[in-house]
Structure 1
Amino acid sequence: MDLNHIFTNQRTGQDKATITSRTDFQRDFDRIIFSAAFRRLQNKTQVFPLPGSVFVHNRLTHSLEVSSVGRSLGSLAGEFIFKNFNNELTEDAQNFYQHNLHNVIAAACLCHDVGNPAFGHSGEDAIASYFEKNENDLKPKFSDKEWADLVNFEGNANAIRVLTHQQNGKDEGGTQLTFTTLASIAKYPCEAVAKKRGVLHRKKFGFFQNEKETFLQIANTLQLKQESTEPYIFRRHPFVWLVEAADDICYNIIDMEDAHRLGIVSSNDCEGLFLELIKSENQNIKRVEDKLAAIMNANERISYLRAKVINALINKSMSIYEKNFDAILNGELDCALLDIYKTENNALTEIEKFSIAKIYNHKAVIEIENAGYNVMYELLDHFIPSIIKPKEERKSYDKMALKLLPQQFVYENGSDYQRVLGVIDFVSGMTDNFATDLYRKIKGIEIGMTV
């Protein structure tokens, strides 16, 4: 890929850039911050549900921290590209890598989770399994590619839809972000029918059929390497690796800090795992130990070590990115940066193993995943059978159910696929609390008037 042509200020929904005091990529960041989809992340589960008085991360605070880490990685990557490829860069490209790449990565990190439904991965599973369990009734209504979208529902693909789709009565182009920022969140740039386990860029899929033309426009404008046209498969954009690394760094480390605050993980275990990674990457470990000795508060000790670990992983990720940069540009790298690091250093692998055993399989986490799955499944079951019926065949209960759908999600003149996507837009966009409240009301568990 040509470093002069892998970025653009072209946006969805408009052809010409507007001249303002901010760069186009700074405007991306601001548009995401002020978007409703981003605000809703405040009440979406990251790992731990509704922990009462103890504050832990939700999807919004997670995204803000990923964005902070991403900005650092973007700055380092911009410096590296400007320094090592300066003679190959146009003046515009020099300016971009020096002054704007970090804005792109920060913006992409900020919106990387906007397509994730309530209740984390169990919400994704509920949407996908709803169609799997109702295959006999529903599959004949869709093409093979449309059906693949539904039974493989994926938050990454949904993020592209949330950010680019024009809802009823709203402006064209969705959030109207630059193609550069949108390409930077496309971890799996392929159609759902091209999913293939064991292949990194095809582990999941990156766009629904409804947004296919939009994604192709992005891919062609930025000259993504094309692997296949039927089905469409592209290689990742070079900036995706930085967004992915920022996300991997944060959830690996901060989930551990949250578990410590909740008393799920002991101070000794958490400190030991963090210190082991710091020792493996930091020659001046005595300075860290001296600083730690002066901190008495348990949470503050973990916060200090968390910061040191994140800094070490940023530097290590950047080193791996630089070392593999040619393979990344050529679309040949097939392993995430942090996964490469795990083959070199066992410390992060031990943190991951510990997290799986003690955190992600903790009773409170499993309980909310089960509850969330049922809530999301039942909400879909309340709306989808009614929305796919022809209007003349709908009974009174169908009409009553559909009155609960906001008009921006109702595509009566569209295909069955488009109408179902409208319901998914509504349900997947819900916060944990809103989904739970609506579920209780439509099930008759809670009856009463609310305004």
Structure 2
Amino acid sequence: MKEQYRIHFKKFFEKNKNIISEDKQNDFINFDGNPQTFRIVSFLESIKDTHGLNLTYSTLATSMKYPVNSCTGNKKTNKSDQDIRYKKFGYFKSEEEFAKKVLTETGLLDSNNNIYRHPLAFLLEAADDIAYSIGDIEDGVKKGIFTITDILNEIKDDIGKDRLEKINKSIKESYIEENAIIYLRVNIQEKMIEDVVQEFMKHYNDIMNGNYKYELLLESESKNLREKLKNILDKLILSDHRIIQTEISGGKALTFLTTLFLNEFSKEEFAKCVFIKLKYSENKIDIQNNSYKLISKSYKKLYETKLKDIMDNKGFSDFKEEIYYYSFLLITDYISGMTDSYCINLYRKLNSIDIY
């Protein structure tokens, strides 16, 4: 999804260069799940207020794997220049003020603007990578795309002799293939977790002092194992026609919906309607735009509340950039929150055709 987003927004901003500032454009051109997650937990998942799940600062700081914005992050460097803090970015411009407060309160942003990663973010990143590395492979075995033997042949040199014997023994004792793949998954995860913990303890002082720059899993003894699992996963994606079909149909739906909302929400007429409602009519009238009506009420309420909070006494010409920016965020909020099936079904309904 993020690649589709990046392509669409990049093309859009090439044609509409001055609609919002470049630093705001970067949020969309470099769209990623990490800042969207921070936006969800700190703002979108709200019930009584606009503070999201009301998580503690330390929890939020841990979830912010890349403690920088979209202009500072996304640095493509070689191994010697690698600094994990800047690999991607952790928050949008819309959450920057709050993100910096989180970092300051947890001691990760000092008075000299030095930024550090929360120590637990290293473990969260590794846990996420470990789960992803093996989860879809288990699904591939269940679908019959490859066998447990195929996987073992690929990773036998990296799993360790004792663990390999343990896995083979468990598989032989299992009469059900579903149980065998569970044994395999658990043992692979145990190996990777142990190696990550060892790497964390080995560099504990550097991590706690903010001097460690790398991904734990990729520096651990499970580095090659992780790469081989990734290769198996790539084969799964390339060989399964169901996955390919879903990606193609999902791409069509995403292209259509993103284009639809961008075309509507970038019109000055729409921005004026939003401005008039916020400044003069409050909740007495609705914004008369069919595309806007598709958005869930909870997202629209947060969108309008946020704009009203930052509006002050600005006129339309001084405020329209903010309307456009938060309107584009509304698009990403709505579409990124869709399941695959919801996205495709909405595409079908709006076009009155079968997607395939």
1:171 match: secondary structure:
coil
How many Å apart are 1:227 and its aligned residue?
11
1:376-391 to structure 2, matched below 5 A, reads 376-391=254-269
1:376 match: secondary structure:
helix
CA distance in 2, matches of 1:339, 1:445: 46
CA distance in 2, matches of 1:373, 1:202: 29
* TM-score under structure 2 length normalisation: 0.80
| Pairing partner for 1:339 from 218, 227, 245 | 218
Q: Which amino acid aligns with 1:442?
A: L
Q: Which amino acid aligns with 1:290?
A: K
- In the other structure, the counterpart of 1:441 is 349
| Pairing partner for 1:425 from 325, 333, 342 | 333
Q: Which amino acid aligns with 2:297?
A: Q
CA distance in 1, matches of 2:163, 2:324: 62
CA distance in 1, matches of 2:45, 2:190: 40
1:176-215 to structure 2, matched below 5 A, reads 176-194=54-72, 195-198=74-77, 199=82, 200-215=84-99
- In the other structure, the counterpart of 1:239 is 120
1:134 match: secondary structure:
helix
Contact 1:183 1:237 in 2 (8 A): yes
2:117 match: secondary structure:
coil
Aligned length: 315
- In the other structure, the counterpart of 1:145 is 23
CA distance in 1, matches of 2:176, 2:62: 39
| Pairing partner for 2:101 from 217, 224, 227 | 217
- In the other structure, the counterpart of 1:405 is 295
Q: Which amino acid aligns with 2:87?
A: K
2:256 aligned with 1:372, yes or no? no
Contact 1:184 1:243 in 2 (8 A): yes
| Distance verdict in 2 for CA 1:278–1:380, change over 3 Å | same
1:183-332 to structure 2, matched below 5 A, reads 183-194=61-72, 195-198=74-77, 199=82, 200-225=84-109, 229=113, 234-273=115-154, 275-280=156-161, 283=162, 286-332=165-211
User: Relative contact order (alpha carbons < 8 A, sep ≥ 6): 1 or 2 greater?
Assistant: 1
Q: Which amino acid aligns with 2:96?
A: K
How many Å apart are 1:285 and its aligned residue?
5.3
Q: Which amino acid aligns with 2:220?
A: Y
Deviations 1:27-66 (A, max 9, x none): xxxxxxxxxxxxxxxxxxxxxxxxxxxxxxxxxxxxxxxx
What is the CA RMSD across the aligned residues, in angstroms?
2.7
How many Å apart are 1:318 and its aligned residue?
0.5
CA distance in 1, matches of 2:326, 2:46: 12
CA distance in 2, matches of 1:272, 1:202: 36
Identity between Structure 1 and Structure 2 (%): 27
- In the other structure, the counterpart of 2:237 is 360
1:40-79 to structure 2, matched below 5 A, reads none
Structure 1 residues not aligned, in runs of 5+: 1-122, 447-451
Contact 2:137 2:232 in 1 (8 A): no
Deviations 1:121-175 (A, max 9, x none): xx11122211111123333111111011011111100001111125898522011
- Higher helix content, 1 or 2: 2
- In the other structure, the counterpart of 2:319 is none
Contact 2:46 2:53 in 1 (8 A): no
Contact 2:39 2:95 in 1 (8 A): yes
Contact 1:187 1:240 in 2 (8 A): yes
Deviations 1:230-274 (A, max 9, x none): xxx733110001111111111112222111111111232123345
CA distance in 1, matches of 2:258, 2:229: 36
CA distance in 2, matches of 1:255, 1:161: 27
1:141 match: secondary structure:
coil
CA distance in 2, matches of 1:293, 1:406: 51
CA distance in 2, matches of 1:264, 1:316: 29
CA distance in 2, matches of 1:353, 1:168: 39
Q: Which amino acid aligns with 2:135?
A: I
1:192 match: secondary structure:
coil
2:328 match: secondary structure:
helix
| Distance verdict in 2 for CA 1:416–1:228, change over 3 Å | farther
CA distance in 2, matches of 1:126, 1:240: 27
How many Å apart are 1:420 and its aligned residue?
1.5
CA distance in 2, matches of 1:141, 1:168: 29
1:311 match: secondary structure:
helix
Question: Runs of at least 4 residues of structure 1 off by over 6 A?
Answer: none
1:188 match: secondary structure:
coil
CA distance in 1, matches of 2:167, 2:10: 52
Q: Which amino acid aligns with 2:193?
A: I
Q: Which amino acid aligns with 1:216?
A: K
- In the other structure, the counterpart of 1:164 is 42
- In the other structure, the counterpart of 2:312 is none
Contact 1:259 1:265 in 2 (8 A): yes
Structure 2 residues not aligned, in runs of 5+: 274-287, 308-321
Q: Which amino acid aligns with 1:193?
A: C
CA distance in 2, matches of 1:228, 1:192: 20
1:403 match: secondary structure:
helix
2:144 match: secondary structure:
coil
